[in-house]
Amino acid sequence: MSDEEKDLGDKAKEAASDFAGEAKETAKEFTESAKETFNNATGDNKKVLAGILAIILGSLGVHKFILGYQKEGFILLGISIAAYILSCVAIGLLFIWIPSIIGLIEGIIYLTKSDEEFYNTYQVGKKPWF
């Protein structure tokens, strides 16, 4: 091998190394950007879905389960089931409206918040009620 071929080989290795480094950096930036976009899209979709389900099925706590609040969802579901059972005795009729009103209020709150505010409050901050 001549010196010229060795220099050419070294330059090719250096260029390939630079290209690989730039490709890795670009891929990392793309991955971070994609994660941010996905998180924003997921937060927006959960906001609308949780808001609509809170208004329609708020008494069953479905919106709480969508946001990952299992304990609060079971509380609303339990109150609703107990109220439906007790409605045969007439005292349950007073309790049937409570979970529905909670769901309606939370649904309106969810839908009126900005996407960023909703995401920070309910998905990052994990604020379970109102």
pLDDT tens digits, one per residue of 3-59: 776 776 677 677 667 766 776 776 677 667 656 655 555 555 688 899 999 999 888
Q: Judge whether 11 lies within some domain.
A: yes
Q: Judge whether 113 lies within some domain.
A: yes
- pLDDT score recorded for residue 95: 79
If one counts every other C-beta atom within 10 angstroms of the C-beta of residue 59, the result is: 23
Q: Judge whether 130 lies within some domain.
A: no
Q: Judge whether 129 lies within some domain.
A: no
Range of the domain at 56: 3-124
Q: Judge whether 35 lies within some domain.
A: yes
Q: Which amino acid is at 130?
A: F
pLDDT tens digits, one per residue of 61-80: 999 999 889 999 999 999 89
* Per-residue DSSP letter, 91: T
Q: How many domains does the chain have?
A: 1
Q: Judge whether 7 lies within some domain.
A: yes
The answer to whether 116 and 110 have CB atoms below 8 angstroms apart is no
The answer to whether 86 and 95 have CB atoms below 8 angstroms apart is yes
Residue with tokens 């304990």: 71
**Secondary structure class of 2 (helix, strand, coil):** coil
